[in-house]
Amino acid sequence: MIGNFKKYISYVSSFLQFFLYSGMFYYGTYYLYRYLKISYFDTMHVSNESRRRFMEKQMLFYNDTGYNLSMKYIGNLCKYYDPVALRMPFQPLDDTYRL
């Protein structure tokens, strides 16, 4: 009876050791695979950098377009600017209102 129990414990411990070592081997090879893939075969950063450059160019273009549109708006306001309408009746025009 005791001999069978020792044999049973031996089987269980060898079973657990097998799965422990096989798990360690699996994760070790997985991390080695990830290291090699990221170090030597990863091309995602190239496409991500391309997307970032394109996004930055778009942002600069839209900022420039917004600036140009605001300048046109201010230019149109200046076209219709009438400083005489800002002076008090029968008073000379103040220099702060002159362009």
pLDDT at 29: 97
Task: Look up residue 42 and give its DSSP letter.
Answer: -
Dist. CA 16–CA 18, nearest whole Å: 5
Dist. CA 24–CA 21, nearest whole Å: 5
What pTM value is reported for the model? 0.42
pLDDT digits (tens, 9 = 90+) for 37-91: 988 888 888 899 999 999 999 999 999 998 888 888 888 878 777 776 777 778 8
Task: Look up residue 92 and give its DSSP letter.
Answer: P
Residue with tokens 């391309």: 50
Q: In one letter, which amino acid is 92?
A: P
Give residues with Cβ within 8 angstroms of 98, minimum separation 6.
83
